[in-house]
Amino acid sequence: MSLFLSLCFALLLSLCHGSRIQPRAVPLDGLLPNGNFEQIPRISDMKNRQIIGKYSLPHWEISGHVEIISGGPQPGGFYFQVPRGVHAVRLGNLASISQNVRVKRGSIYSVTFGATRTCVQDERVRISAAGQVSELPIQTVFSSDGGDTYGWAFEAMSDVVTVTFHNPGVQEDPSCGPLLDAVAIKEMLPLRYTKGNLVKNGGFEIGPHVFKNFSTGVLIPAKIQDRITPLPGWIVESLKPVKYIDSRHFKVPAGLAAVELVAGRESALSQIVRTVSGRNYTLSFTVGDARNDCHGSMMVEAFAAKETLKLRFESRGNGAFKTGRFAFRAISVRTRITFYSGFYHTKLHDFGHLCGPVLDDVKVVPVR
């Protein structure tokens, strides 16, 4: 009997030990170490606002003219807004900051970062990771409060990747360049079909990290910039981005997130779905406003195969929405569905803040 009890106890210990050494991996989703730049260099590592020393910015490696900025009035009559905290970094001529991040090989990650131009010249941010590079123009300001946030995605080719932000510009003032005030990373979970709906991620529930303390949405770059998108399943087919918004900071028609078409006909969103040629389908979608002071007569145009629908919506800025639906016949085994805003909009009391209709709950179902 004692032998039996000893064996049972040993088996129990082995099971407990096995559960300890195989913990469930938690997907990355949050700020990088010192991603908000609130851990600043020592005074001895500063020359006025410029950081001196390759490793003087905690958790980051710097190259070139990099400044640490405190939000508010600046020398020369400038005013820099840092909406997500107190400090930010400014990348001067050909300057860069980088950080090594431990990831899962083969997984897709999105990087969310706040970026604002600080000079009148054309400014860009070059972001790279795992051998993938994209150069994002930030000359167009979508929010007047310094809250422009961008999303970018990459595929991890190794267990550790170096995420780098670089200013490729050369200006007369060597300190001129983009201001970065927060950087976060998120592991993108695999897409799955919702039963009865041929559209992947039709409710936009899978998307980039959204900053908790302050958000004006996350701008998703156009397809011409990236092969991998931080908005899985969807393609931004235009010169301007679309904006990913969440229910914590905006009114969305359903679920946790939606997309705001902020640049009129210059920001089109599409997806290619599997269909059966000659079969009939119904495309439905919801249009509304984000309750963000975006008023006026809105219209979202939707296309599928040879059919189109112009869904008009009169926004009073109170978060209302309506649903559109139309039938189409597939002419191929692949059907592209596309949406764009028919008009350009700005906030009622802030003409420097671009906005537009909200798109959500997109479904394609076969007609039985």
57-77 pLDDT, tens digit per residue, is: 999 999 999 999 998 887 777
- 43 is in which domain, residue-wise? 29-187
241-263 pLDDT, tens digit per residue, is: 999 999 999 999 999 999 999 98
28 vs 146, which has greater pLDDT? 28
Are both 141 and 249 inside the same structural domain? no
C-alpha dist (Å) from residue 226 to 128, 133, 154: 11, 8, 9
Whichever domain contains 236, its CATH number is 2.60.120.260
212-244 pLDDT, tens digit per residue, is: 888 889 999 887 555 788 999 999 988 889 999
- Residue 321 pLDDT > 90: yes
Q: Comparing 3-12, 23-32, 282-291, 331-340, which segment has the lowest mean pLDDT?
A: 3-12
Residue 3 has phi, psi (to 5 degrees) of -65, -40
Would you say 92 and 174 are in contact if contact means Cβ atoms under 8 Å apart?
yes
Are both 167 and 237 inside the same structural domain? no
Per the structure, the count of domains in the chain is 2
How confident is the prediction for the chain on average, in pLDDT? 88
Confidence (pTM): 0.89
Would you say 269 and 359 are in contact if contact means Cβ atoms under 8 Å apart?
yes
Are both 227 and 289 inside the same structural domain? yes
182-205 pLDDT, tens digit per residue, is: 999 999 988 888 888 999 999 999
Helix (H, G, I), strand (E, B) or coil at 292: coil
